[in-house]
Every structure is written in structure tokens, then in C-alpha cells.
Amino acid sequence: MKPLLLAAGAAAAAWAARAAWDIPSAMGASVSAIKPYAGGTANYRGDRFHNTEPSTQLETGSVAALLLTAWSKRKEGHPARPVPVVRPRRPDTVAELAVTWYGHASALVEVDGFLVLTDPVWSKRVSPSSVVGPARLHPMPLPVDELPEVDVVVISHDHYDHLDKATVAALVDRQSAPFVVPLGIGAHLRHWGVPEHRIVELAWGESVSLSALGRERDGADLTLTCTEARHFSGRGLVRNTTLWAAWTIAGPTKRVYFGGDTGYTKAFAEAGAAHGPFDLTLLPIGAYGDQWPDIHMNPEEAVRAHGDLCLGDAGHGLLVPIHWATFNLAMHGWSEPVRRLVEAAAAAGTPIAVPKPGERVDPASPPPVDPWWESIG
């Protein structure tokens, strides 16, 4: 019996060592390393970024109670059967407008001949640990090294389900594209070895063109604008040392809005007025809950946001939902977000497409909504 106990103890110690091995590096830059890159904006006070609109956030002291609730309801956020994954179809030429959704907030957006990669996360878990934390509910549709050469990578904020160290390292090795990020996130990238010339940090309202980064194509250009979102940031116990954002992606003929992760906000209407109407919106619909009503949208709010971004015309453009199906991050059922979205979009007259992970959508001829999730549960 004693040898068995010793072996079990050794195995447990090895597992704990593995779990902790990469955590410090994966957590990113320290507060002191971030601070020099984070100031100078109206919403930065007391060494922290703040939402323009008051927002209820989960208090640190309530995390234990929330984790207990999440554990008791953990099965509700899992599909009953495997999520279907489509091998991405690589087009012969980059389109004026298309999107391939890889899962959660990771997508490859085609805009006027340019390729934009959003919030790329290829790791199995969204956690600083490779063995502990929310795990994927479906595989990535393709390996990261099979991505086509992209023109730019945009990041919405520094939470683990949107910014992943291993994926960043792979993109540095296999791609040449710059990372365009909100203020402060560049410190994480520098900490992980991203070259300085590939990092662009912006505040809300600031823009950068690909021509300014030396990446224009055939005289065409693309402009990325960092726009206000209603969320928070942090990869450890200290919050809001880096900025969170949504992004507008504007080419000569097409405009795309990437919502990243946000609660409903007046900033949608402001972005619509300043940069819209948008031909395609990628808006989060999952991980909502009573515990955080202001920092995650529910599906009905996503439909409302699409209308705001399209200058009050709910029928303009196409809404593609993101931030659902891939990770279990809330207490609602796995398919609840998309079911509610379909109903709300029909009531508002909002065109939507709900691709399977890996499926490419052409907004000029979107397929009829196929309720593929209903057979999964």
C-alpha cells in the first residue's frame, strides 16, 4: 500500500508542477511593465482604465460563491453531442467581404482584399495553465500553421479567451502581420517576445491604416479604429491596467464591426454615426448572466446593437454571432444564446448567419439559417 501511496503522491506532485510551470509567463506583463504604455486618456485614472458608463462588475470577494455555482451547473453549458466543425474553405482570392468563424471570438475577416484575424486563440484551455481552466468544447477547425498569410491581427482585450500566449508565439513565428491592440496590451506582447515593430497600441477613437504600417495592397488601404467597449481587463488579481475595445475595419467599399467582448453601450450608436453603417457586424451573444449585466451582452442586446451600428436600420448588413459555443463561461445552456438570437433577429428583421466553426460566410449571399445546434442540445 505504501508504494502505491508514494506513487500517487509523486504523480500528484508532477501534475501540480506541470500545471504551474508556465503560469507566470502566461499571465503576461507585470503592472509596472504595463503602466508606461497605459496613460494619457480621459478614461485612465488612478492607474486604471474605466468604462464611460457605470458598470457592475463581479467583485473579487464573490468569486468563490460564483465558482461554486458554476461547478454545480457546469454540465448545462456543455453540448450533449459533438459540435460539428467544418474544414475552412480557402478562397482563390480574398473577397470584398466574407468571414470565417473559427469559434468564440476568433475569426478571419476578408475586407476589400485584406485578411484580418480577430482575437486568435488556438489553445485547448483559456487559462494561464495548460491543465486547469475552461477547455474547448470543439477543436479548432484548422491548425494555426495552416492559416493563410494575414495582413493584421486585432485584439479586443487581454482576457485569456481573447489573448493567448501560445497562439501569439505561433503567429510571431509563422506570420509577419502586425498586432493592433488597445493601450497597455503591447506590454504583454513584448513580454512574450513580439518585436516592437509589430506592435501598434491605440486608445479609443484612434485609428491606424495598413498603408502607415507598410501593408497596403495594389493602392488599396484598410483603416482600423479602436472604439469604445463596455467591459474590463486583467489576467490576474489586478484589473483594468490595460484597455478593452471593439474595432471598426473600414476598406474602400466595405465596413466591418468587431465587438470582441462587451456589454450593451451607447458607444454602438456613436460608432455607427462615426463609422457606419456596417456591412457586417461580429457581436458577442454568450457568457451573459445576472452576475455581470453590464459587461456581457445577451442575444437581444446584440440585435439592438446591430441596429445601432447600422444607423437605426436593423435590416442593413449581416450580423454574425461570436463569443458562444466554444467555451463554457457562464451558467446558461449551451444553445440558449443562439436560440434567443434567432428569435430576436426575426422579430427585428435583422439578417443573421450562424456558421458552424470553420464555416465561411459571404454576406452578399448568406445561406438560410440552418438550426444545426438543435441536434446537439
Tens digits of residue pLDDT in 148-158 = 999 999 999 99
Q: In a 3-state reduction of DSSP, which class is residue 8? A: helix
Residue 180 to residues 30, 74, 373: CA-CA distances in angstroms? 20, 35, 33
DSSP state letters, 176-219:
-PPEEEETTHHHHHHHTT--GGGEEEE-TT-EEETTTTT--BTT
| Amino acid at position 310, single letter | C
**pLDDT tens-digit profile of 68-117?**
444 455 578 999 999 999 999 888 899 999 999 999 999 999 999 999 99
* 299/354 Cα distance (integer angstroms): 13
* 318/353 Cα distance (integer angstroms): 7
- Residue 143: its pLDDT value, please? 97
Q: Mean pLDDT, the chain, as a whole number?
A: 91
DSSP state letters, 61-125:
GGHHHHHHHHHHTGGGGS-SSPPP-PPPPPPSS--SEEEEEEETTEEEEEETTEEEEES---SSB
| Res 51 pLDDT > 90 | yes
Q: How large is the average pLDDT for residues 256-263? A: 98
**Which H helix or E strand runs over 262?**
none
* 234/241 Cα distance (integer angstroms): 7
Residue 87 burial (CB < 10 Å; 0-12/13-18/19+)? exposed
* 319/321 Cα distance (integer angstroms): 6
Residue listed under C-alpha cell 502586425: 178
- The ranges assigned to domains in the chain are 74-375
CATH, domain 74-375, list 3.50.50.60, 3.40.50.720, 3.90.70.10, 3.60.15.10: 3.60.15.10
Q: How large is the average pLDDT for residues 298-318? A: 97
- Residue 238: its pLDDT value, please? 95
Closest among 150, 155, 275 to 215, alpha carbons compared:
150
Q: How large is the average pLDDT for residues 7-36? A: 72
According to DSSP, the residues that pair with 103 across neighbouring strands are 106
* 324/253 Cα distance (integer angstroms): 29
Q: How large is the average pLDDT for residues 290-314? A: 96
Structural contact between residues 102 and 358, judged by C-beta atoms closer than 8 angstroms: yes
